[in-house]
Amino acid sequence: MAPPRLALAVIGDEIGPTLDEMISFAHEHGIKRLDMRTVGGRNLLGMTADQVIDISRTLEKAGISVPTFVSPVLKWPAPGKAPAGGRVDFAFDPAECPVRDPLLHAMDVAVILGARNLRIFSYLRYSGFRPSDISVSDSELTGLLGHAKHYDIVLQLENEPVCNIGNIAELSAFFTARNAEVEELDSDAVMEIYLRPLVDIANAWSTGERPNDADIAVLAPYTTAIHLKDRDLAAGRTVPLGDGNVPWAAELKRLLGGVEANEVLASIETHCPQDRRNATARSVAAIRRIADEIGVEIV
């Protein structure tokens, strides 16, 4: 059985802060998809609908599609919980949202962009977290899933170290608990369709985790999107893909071997702000080289 294709995307602000920089890079490197997070240093969740419409029209005229709104949804403190602290990249205060309901506005932004996916998190890490704290039967995730079904947008839950689900083991534990809940509720498959793991293997490695086969086997059948970056573990920093210690060829083969979808969105999240454009160009070249090495098609 052939492995799934990789639909290559780049998170736009990993190239530069302006739309012109993002578009010129995409054209130069044959990139047809940009996942969108910020423009001009402002998160799209903090923009009005009209501002997002202008961004969407500009990208459409340039022949670029947006698979994912890389939102900061639930990358903020949980109600009544004090976060553990620490630096939060691309932090967002829901009070900065121009409308009262940031969850609904996130869906509106995704719709305007034509995005099929919405990236979400699991609240900033706090003591005593359990997967049931964001149970789909009683939490903000309930409302998100309702919106997701209405708008036909897939929620992609990322493992992010500053959040409660920070590594692959925690992501696996959440989806294991979710599956048990689905069976108990005799669900109509809303969760099965509209809630997926956004697997970030480099994030896991950055925490010291080496993802095991069992956890990857839990997540792979539900995986339709991944993030790509690399880590220099000795230096404790993110580096262009292929320049670090993550064995990407082996990790991709292992994950894709259990994926059931025909295509996986592979989004480059370079995280090299000191040299964004060049580092992202090197990462694009690296994933094309790695994919060729393991016999995976990039589209």
Q: Is the dihedral of CA 184, 226, 122, 212 positive or negative?
A: positive
The answer to whether residue 124 is domain-embedded is: yes
Per the structure, how many domains does the chain have?
Answer: 1
The answer to whether residue 45 is domain-embedded is: yes
3-state secondary structure of 231: strand
pLDDT by residue for the chain (299 residues), tens digit each? 789 999 999 999 999 999 999 999 999 999 999 999 999 999 999 999 999 999 999 999 999 999 999 999 999 999 889 888 777 888 889 999 999 999 999 999 999 999 999 999 999 999 999 888 886 555 788 889 989 999 999 999 999 999 999 999 999 999 998 876 655 554 555 567 899 999 999 999 999 999 999 999 999 999 999 999 999 999 999 999 999 999 999 999 999 999 999 999 999 999 999 999 999 999 999 999 999 999 999 99
The answer to whether residue 299 is domain-embedded is: no
Spatial distance between the Cα atoms of 2 and 230, rounded to a whole number of angstroms: 26
In degrees, rounded to 5, the angle at the alpha carbon of residue 253 between the alpha carbons of residues 248 and 254 is 100
Q: Show Cβ contacts of residue 91 under 8 Å, excluding neighbours closer than 6 positions.
A: 72, 75, 76
The answer to whether residue 57 is domain-embedded is: yes
Cβ burial of 253 (10 Å; 0-12, 13-18, 19+) is middle
The two beta strands, 34-35 and 5-11, are parallel
Spatial distance between the Cα atoms of 264 and 69, rounded to a whole number of angstroms: 16
3-state secondary structure of 159: coil
Which residues share a beta bridge with 268? Answer: 10, 228
Domain that holds residue 195: 5-294
- Provide the 8-state DSSP code for 36: B
H helix count then E strand count, the chain? 10, 12
Q: What is the pLDDT of residue 110?
A: 98
In CATH, what number is assigned to the domain containing residue 125? 3.20.20.150
Residue written as tokens 């997002």? 52
E strand or H helix at 205 = helix 201-206
The answer to whether residue 153 is domain-embedded is: yes
Spatial distance between the Cα atoms of 7 and 251, rounded to a whole number of angstroms: 17
Tell which phi-psi region holds residue 57, choosing left (phi > 0), alpha (psi between -120 and 50) or beta.
alpha
